[in-house]
Amino acid sequence: MNSANDGSTYLYVYDGIPVVNVSPLGSGRPDTDTLLARFNRLDTDQDVRRIVRDLDIRWVYVDAEAPGIGVVQGGYPWYTGPSPFTLAPGLTGLDAVTGLDRRFTSGSVSVYEVDPSLLAPAAGGVDGP
């Protein structure tokens, strides 16, 4: 998963890696919009955890200094902050999220691995806290 305004989409396509976001402001699909807004709640949000499982997200690429993108207020319900923005709100504060491990950092870019245990369905089909 990525924010798409950071140049990572090219890397995914070049190496044949499936990509979740190809548009910096989301695809308009509720699931990807939810991730852009709330991915950093992976450890507490059952909906986010389900989406991560459904999309088989294993790695997250984040550039804290990606180019700014203008956002029309009200055009993207998941984003209510100032325009332009450089990082989707759900991709901030990932170091504090249980179940994510930062595996690589270079400058402002970090790559996180999603704990594989979060990808397995919970017993009885219901996610825990």
Mind listing the pLDDT tens digit for each residue in 106-124? Answer: 998 899 999 998 887 765 5
pLDDT in tens, 40-91: 999 999 999 999 999 889 989 888 887 777 777 666 767 777 777 778 889 9
pTM score, whole prediction: 0.77
pLDDT of residue 64: 85
Flag whether pLDDT at 127 surpasses 70: no
pLDDT of residue 10: 60
* Mean pLDDT over each residue of the chain, to the nearest integer: 79
Task: Decide: 18 and 8 in contact? Cβ < 8 Å.
Answer: no
d(CA 90, CA 12): 20
d(CA 49, CA 82): 27
Q: How confident is the model at residue 129 (pLDDT cuts 50, 70, 90)?
A: very low
d(CA 33, CA 8): 18
